[in-house]
Amino acid sequence: MLRLRPCLGPLKPPIPLFTLAPSRTFTHTPSLPAKPLPARLKIDDADLTVSYLKGTGPGGQKINKTNSACQIIHKPSGIVIKCQATRSRSQNEKIARSLLADRVEAREKGDQSRVALKAEAVRKKKASKVKKAKRKYRALEKGEEGDERETEEVKERVPGEDNKEGVKEVSKGSPGA
């Protein structure tokens, strides 16, 4: 037997979808670098020695007892990278390989490496922000100086004076004369 509940009030109509949408639409234009970055350097596995070490530092017993830290040695260049960013051995190895690729590329290519190009883009962006801020505050200072000049020559309206316009000039040196 099916029992129906008594209706206690008017049923609410369903909410239209257009009211669920935000009142303003926000668009995001992806910022693409002017020049695409070069591809990441590929390193042969034969040139690498990968070993897993016990971790150190914060993390407690789990870090200290397991071999989750990854150490990669690049034989041709002698660069050693040790990574203990996460508790996962595979993630640490992946991070260590990318760090090693960046380090080897920076040594080989110098200013044309991915890391150097990224750092240069960040440096230029920061310099542009600083330049814009200086320009803004310089303009504000000029605007304040202009306001001060205007206030020195202010004419004050005085009601009930006998002069035709009802205007009294305020002088800097004399008090209220």
Q: Is residue 85 part of a domain?
A: yes
pLDDT at 173: 53
Question: Who has greater pLDDT, 130 or 168?
Answer: 130
In the chain, the amino acid numbered 68 is S
Q: Spell out the residues 6+ positions from residue 49 whose beta carbon is closer than 8 angstroms to its own.
A: 72, 73, 75
Q: Are residues 62 and 105 in the same domain?
A: yes
CA distance 175 to 162: 20
Residues 90 and 120 in one domain: no
What is the per-residue pLDDT across 64-86, written as a single tens digit (0 to 9) for each?
Answer: 888 999 999 999 999 999 999 98
Same domain, 82 and 130: no
Q: Are 54 and 71 in a shared domain?
A: yes
CA atoms lying within 13 Å on the CB side of residue 92: 23
Q: Is the pLDDT of residue 12 over 50?
A: yes
159 contacts 166 by C-beta, under 8 angstroms: yes
Domain count of the fold of the chain: 2
Q: Which residues of 148-162 are buried (b: 16+ CB within 10 A; e: fewer)?
A: eeeeeeeeeeeeeee
Same domain, 117 and 98: no
* Rounded-to-integer distance, Cα 157 and Cα 150, Å: 16
Q: Which residues 6+ apart lie within 8 Å of 67 measured at CB?
A: 52, 53, 54, 89
Residue 79 within any structural domain of the chain: yes
pLDDT band at 177 (very low <50, low <70, confident <90, very high): very low
Contacting residues for 63 by C-beta, under 8 A, at least 6 apart: 54, 55, 56, 57, 84, 87
Range of 136's domain? 113-147
pLDDT above 80 (res 171): no
Pair (51, 62) in one structural domain: yes
Same domain, yes or no: 133 and 91: no
Q: Is residue 165 part of a domain?
A: no
The rounded distance, in Å, linking the Cα atoms of 156 and 153 is 10
Mean residue pLDDT of the chain comes to: 78
130 and 103 assigned to the same domain: no
- Radius of gyration for the chain, computed over Cα atoms and rounded to the nearest angstrom: 35
